[in-house]
Amino acid sequence: MRSVVQRVSRASVNVDGQTIGNINHGLLVLAGFHTTDTEEQVRWMCDKLIKLRIFTDEDGKMNRSVNDVGGGILVVSQFTLYGDANKGTRPSFIQSARPETAIPLYEYMLSYLKSNSDLAIESGEFGAMMEVSLVNDGPVTLILER
């Protein structure tokens, strides 16, 4: 599992002109699933996201988690995170999990985050053409992989 994690002042996702997910201060997570991913990788990623200390404390040091600051998490599925463009000019997505594998993992991720935190958990729509807007805070962007 691979995630691009961005600390944001605000983020939203629109489908067909309608806002379907929206957070203020928190994390925007672009989540990609590999063909071999299991719920174990998803649990690891979720626990990491909840505890990741990338928000500043009173001394300006990254020492607080999204949970500590009462933020939200917006999770957007993104199969292109496993795109491989090393050969040619058209990426290959053969390492990206097919929908029959990725959808249950994505739904498990959302359920796990909601069950294991008191945070506002929002999401995009799997497989939809989405418009994601964000204000990156810092900017702080990390790539996590398990």
- Annotated active-site positions, please? 78-80
Beta carbons of 74 and 27 less than 8 angstroms apart: yes
Three-state DSSP string of 22-89: EECCEEEEEEECECCCCHHHHHHHHHHHHHCCCEECCCCCEEECCCCCCCEEEEEECHHHHCECCCCC
**Residue from 98, 86, 108 nearest 36 by CA:** 98
Q: What SS3 state is found at 93?
A: coil
Residue 40, strand partner residues: none
